[in-house]
Amino acid sequence: MVITREKPALLGGSKVFPEPLPRYISTSFQETEAAIQVLKSGILSDYIGAAGLYFMGGKQVRTLEEQWANYFNVRHALSVNSATSGLHAAVIAAGVSFGDEVIVPPQTMSATATAVVMANGTPVFVDHEEASCCIDPEAVEGAISTRTKAIIAVNLFGGPAQLVRLRKLADRHGLILIEDNAQAPGGQHQGRWLGTIAHLGVFSLNCHKTIQCGEGGIVVTNDDYLARRVALVRNHGENAIEAENWYEDADIVGYNYRLTELQGAIAQVQLQRLEELTQPRLKIAEALDQGLSKFKALRTAKVGSGDRHVYYTYPIWIDPQQAGLSRDRFVEALQAEGCPLTGRYVRPLYRLPLFQKLQQEGKTIVSHPTGVCPIAEKTYNETLLSTTLIQIPGGIDLVDRFVASVAKVLAHAEELSRGKDK
Ligand SMILES: *Cc1c(COP(=O)(O)O)cnc(C)c1O
């Protein structure tokens, strides 16, 4: 490969990707049509914050929920205005309140853990598995205390956590398992849809996800009681409990977490197109798996049999010793080539000032010294990077160049490392 011998862009060579890469856009004329119909009707939202038919919203959101429940073969699907709202509602539905602990992974979008704080609970961070960056069931088991109420597992990057094991563990201890499935609609674990294996599952429809309606989310569950509590949190539930005789839910403060009719109509089309929008990602991921397999210093996601990864983003792990190059320098060099790389994922959440300072009744309730989750720390500091190539339109035609940039950078590892010292 000729590119390998060329000078890396970081050392003054020319870029492998000189052109700006196109952005992922998931909507088409079909979503435009659906939105126009709603606009023409003039009914942009159709909720009423009191008991009665409109407590559950209007035609578009209810149709979306019915279609979502059918698609994922689940009893209840409740739309909300974001996955963050959905996680908050799920945690409240699980009964989490003052003094209750919820076990969460450290490497995820912050809302996974802030949802617990919003419900007055205490997040307890435990380490993830090195292979997947999803929560480690053994670490979860070790962290269960008399105060534990729930566990949140995140299907990170579009791949499954060990949900069947976690569900068994939760059931054995009388805990509620919540799946944060914001990144993995259409993914599977042991032949079952992600989002539906836990007691509650939360999807996101925000603009960065594979399917979207700008902002939005869906909570799914097979449990009637949990579904009712999510509906109460979503729409001023305090007004509805008397009419319905739901006095056991008098603990609930309702919010306005309602999705609009406009978003509901757009999300219906996006759901129909989920598979169509997922397929190109899978093709690019397969080509990347193959292309990157020749580099001993790199590892990509392993997908178990019966599992389906849907690649919200494509994770890559580097062994810096074997590469002769630090992860950060590797990322810097690839970015200089114009590669679509996002570098490390989020900082282990317990290191955020919020969690370091989190206090209740004057006591610090979360104070994790650096290193408390050693695998998450190592992943964040040394090994993980990811590429959004899987979502770029026409990305399949860029895989060879992506692999060539990696080859070029690794071939110049020593020089690039030295360049760093100067
Ligand atoms: C995107 C995301 C969320 C939040 O989704 P919103 O719909 O933006 O609130 C939560 N958890 C994870 C893992 C996410 O990726």
Of all residues in the chain, what percent carry a pLDDT higher than 70? 95
pLDDT for the residue numbered 368: 67
Closest by CA position to 341, among listed 278, 396, 389: 389
The CB of 180 under 6 Å from ligand 1? The reply is yes
State in Å: Cα 101 to ligand 1 middle: 21
For a substitution probing ligand 1, which of 104, 203, 204 has the most ligand atoms within 8 Å of its CB? 204
Domain count, the chain: 2
DSSP state of 388: -
- Ligand 1 atom at shortest distance from the alpha carbon of 112: 11
pLDDT for the residue numbered 340: 93
pLDDT for the residue numbered 418: 87
Residue 327, both tokens: 């992860």
State in Å: Cα 110 to ligand 1 middle: 8
Q: Which helix (H) or strand (E) holds 203?
A: strand 200-204
Instruction: For residues 159 and 219, state if they share a domain.
Output: yes
The CB of 154 under 6 Å from ligand 1? The reply is yes
pLDDT for the residue numbered 308: 98
CB-count burial class (<10 Å; 0-12, 13-18, 19+) for 45: middle
The CB of 204 under 6 Å from ligand 1? The reply is yes
The CB of 217 under 6 Å from ligand 1? The reply is yes
341: containing domain: 275-418
193 has which bridge partners? 188
The CB of 81 under 6 Å from ligand 1? The reply is no
Residue 209 among the catalytic residues: yes
Q: Which long-range contacts (CB under 8 A, 24 or more apart) does 373-376 make?
A: 373/106, 373/125, 373/126, 373/127, 373/128, 373/348, 374/127, 375/127, 375/128, 375/129, 375/130, 375/136, 376/105, 376/106, 376/107, 376/127, 376/128, 376/133, 376/348
Q: 80 in helix, strand or coil?
A: strand
Instruction: For residues 81 and 214, state if they share a domain.
Output: yes
pLDDT for the residue numbered 422: 43
Instruction: For residues 285 and 330, state if they share a domain.
Output: yes
* pTM beyond 0.75, yes or no: yes
Domain termination site, one of 270, 303, 327: 270
DSSP state of 188: E
pLDDT for the residue numbered 347: 87
State in Å: Cα 362 to ligand 1 middle: 30
Instruction: For residues 280 and 266, state if they share a domain.
Output: no
Angle at 200 between CA 196 and CA 201, to 5 degrees: 55
* pLDDT tens string 67-89: 999 999 999 999 999 999 999 99
Q: Which long-range contacts (CB under 8 A, 24 or more apart) does 39-48 make?
A: 39/262, 41/261, 43/261, 44/260, 44/261, 44/262, 45/258, 45/260, 45/261, 45/262, 46/261, 47/235, 47/258
The CB of 109 under 6 Å from ligand 1? The reply is yes
The CB of 188 under 6 Å from ligand 1? The reply is no
Beta-carbon-side half-sphere exposure of residue 251 (alpha carbons within 13 Å): 13
Instruction: For residues 236 and 134, state if they share a domain.
Output: yes
Instruction: For residues 175 and 189, state if they share a domain.
Output: yes
For a substitution probing ligand 1, which of 133, 180, 207, 313 has the most ligand atoms within 8 Å of its CB? 180
Give the integer Cα–Cα distance in Å for 252 and 230. 10
Strand duo 101-104 + 122-125: pairing = parallel
Domain holding 301: CATH number? 3.90.1150.10
Instruction: For residues 59 and 197, state if they share a domain.
Output: yes
**Does residue 377 form part of some domain?**
yes
- Ligand 1 atom at shortest distance from the alpha carbon of 82: 7
Of 7, 168, 209, 378, the catalytic one is 209
Give the integer Cα–Cα distance in Å for 318 and 58. 49
**Stretches in the chain below the pLDDT threshold 70:** 1-2, 359-370, 419-422
**Does residue 390 form part of some domain?**
yes
Domain holding 153: CATH number? 3.40.640.10
Asked whether the beta carbons of 211 and 273 are under 8 A apart, the reply is: yes
